Amino acid sequence: MPTRLYGIHQRTLRLSCLWGAALLMVALSIAPAMARMLETAYGNVEIEGQPERVVTLYEGALDASIALGVTPLGAVATRGGEHVATYIADEVSDISIVGTARETNLEAVVALQPDMILASPLLPQEQYQLLSRIAPVVVPPSGGFTADSWREELRVFTQALGRDEAEAEALIEHVDQRAAELAARLGDEPPTAALVRWMPQGPMVMNEDLFGTGFIAAAGFEVTDAGLVRKGVPHSDPLSLENLSRIDQDWMFLATLNQEGEEALEAARTSPAFQRLSVVGNDRVVPVDGQLFSSAMGPLAAQAILDVLEGVIDTIEERDAVN
């Protein structure tokens, strides 16, 4: 009897060893599959699994993350503000602010113990090197902020977050389809338009090839910067009130970033130069959120901008029906 029991124990031990070896081989075969290499502006970054503690240092990264169902722990404040942009604030009411687009608070980032950092395509290399000591840093290789760069950025962030690429393509398709439907409503003779950001120093015309102006154009307007914006810069120098006539288009989308800009705009509205604009006389000045139209990026921002543009097109159709 003892000999028989000994044989049973031996067979059990051998089976256990075989099962252990098999499980180890399965684990080893799965591990490389879960790790993936992602091409970024500063070389390939190895990522494993789905990050759970994400920090975004770029408004476009925050937008993309939320659109993909990921709520970051930290983000930078929007341009001209102290929190994230208004259009997205309700989605991340408890998020930690870890700096601005120009300056990151490294201590605040470290305190959040991130396992992934999503950054701007314009992140300087020296900052990248510092941040890389904290967690893997993904910098989109797009190289700048143009009307269409958000698409490739969304795809990069989707891969970084371990989400299904089909999710990104569906978000892009939904935006493109809606913009095309709005453009079809304006027909073959599109009204001209300019996007102007009013600052305490005065009005600045925004480049034709930015995210906000790109969607105004995609929705069917003929966008112009009146030749006032130098190549490679996002906006013109501040204009004097006397030169406002140079941006007198069929429609003007007028953005402010903060209280100081709003106060400067209100003061300018009473000036004869502002009142003489035909776009003012025709009641075609559309106040818009400067954080959304001149700073935000991503599929959620795109839909928020299209919401505004749909309202404007509704107004155009109503006025045409009366006339």
Residue whose structure tokens are 């928020």: 304
Q: Is residue 153 part of a domain?
A: yes
In a domain, 217, yes or no: yes
Last residue of a domain, one of 114, 147, 163: 163
- In terms of domains, do 153 and 194 share one? no
In a domain, 117, yes or no: yes
Q: Are the C-beta atoms of residues 319 and 194 closer than 8 Å to each other?
A: no
* Residue type (1 letter), 218: A
CA pair distance 299, 114, nearest whole angstrom:
24
Domain shared by 201 and 147, yes or no? no
244 in the same domain as 202: yes
Closest C-alpha to 55, from 35, 70, 33: 70
Query: For residues 26 and 19, what is the distance between their CA atoms, to the nearest angstrom?
Result: 11
Query: Does the residue 54 lie in any domain?
Result: yes
Same domain, 135 and 241: no
Same domain, 108 and 155: yes
Nearest to 261 by CA among 195, 196, 198: 198
User: 231 with 152, same domain?
Assistant: no
Angle at 179 between CA 141 and CA 185, to 5 degrees: 155
- Would you tell me how many other CB atoms lie within 10 Å of the CB of residue 172? 17
Please indicate, yes or no, whether residues 252 and 140 belong to a single structural domain of this protein.
Answer: no
Q: Are residues 254 and 292 in the same domain?
A: yes
Report, in angstroms and rounded to the nearest whole number, the Rg of the chain calculated over CA atoms: 26
Residues 144 and 218 in one domain: no
Structural domain containing residue 254: 187-321
pLDDT value of residue 48:
86
Q: Which residues in the chain show pLDDT less than 50?
A: 1-33
**Are 265 and 310 found together in one domain?**
yes
Does 58 reside within a domain?
Answer: yes
Do 116 and 238 have their domain in common? no
Rounded to 5°, the CA angle 212-270-295 comes to 15
20 inside domain: no
pLDDT of residue 34: 65
Residue with tokens 């006539």: 245
Question: Each residue of 116-160: pLDDT tens digit?
Answer: 999 999 999 999 999 999 999 999 997 678 899 999 999 999 999
Residue at 121 is within a domain: yes
Q: Is residue 215 part of a domain?
A: yes
Task: Indicate the pairing of strand 54-56 with strand 285-289.
Answer: unpaired
Q: Cα separation of 282 and 160, whole Å?
A: 48
Mark which of 147, 163, 179 sits at the end of a domain. Answer: 163
Let me know whether 132 and 237 are in one domain: no
Q: How far apart are CA 24 and CA 100, in angstroms?
A: 46
CATH code (residue 274):
3.40.50.1980
When divided into structural domains, the chain yields a total of: 2
